[in-house]
Chain A
Amino acid sequence: QKEVEQNSGPLSVPEGAIASLNCTYSDRGSQSFFWYRQYSGKSPELIMSIYSNGDKEDGRFTAQLNKASQYVSLLIRDSQPSDSATYLCAPRGAQKLVFGQGTRLTINP
Chain B
Amino acid sequence: DTGVSQNPRHKITKRGQNVTFRCDPISEHNRLYWYRQTLGQGPEFLTYFQNEAQLEKSRLLSDRFSAERPKGSFSTLEIQRTEQGDSAMYLCATRTDMSADTQYFGPGTRLTVL
A interface with B by C-beta (< 8 Å): 4, 6, 8, 32, 34, 42-46, 49, 88, 90, 92-102
CB within 8 Å of A: which B60-114 residues = 89, 91, 93, 99-100, 102-108
Q: Are B45 and A96 in contact (CB under 8 A)?
A: yes
Q: Mark B6-38, 1 if CB is under 8 A from A, else 0.
A: 000000000000000000000000000101000
| B43 at the A interface (CB under 8 A) | yes
Count of chain B residues with Cβ under 8 Å from any Cβ of A? 24
B interface with A by C-beta (< 8 Å): 2, 33, 35, 40-45, 48, 55-56, 89, 91, 93, 99-100, 102-108
User: Which residues from A are CB-within-8-Å of B56?
Assistant: 95-96
Q: Could you pull out 12 A-B pairs where Cβ atoms are within 8 angstroms?
A: A32-B100, A42-B107, A42-B108, A46-B103, A92-B100, A94-B99, A95-B48, A96-B33, A96-B56, A97-B35, A100-B42, A101-B42
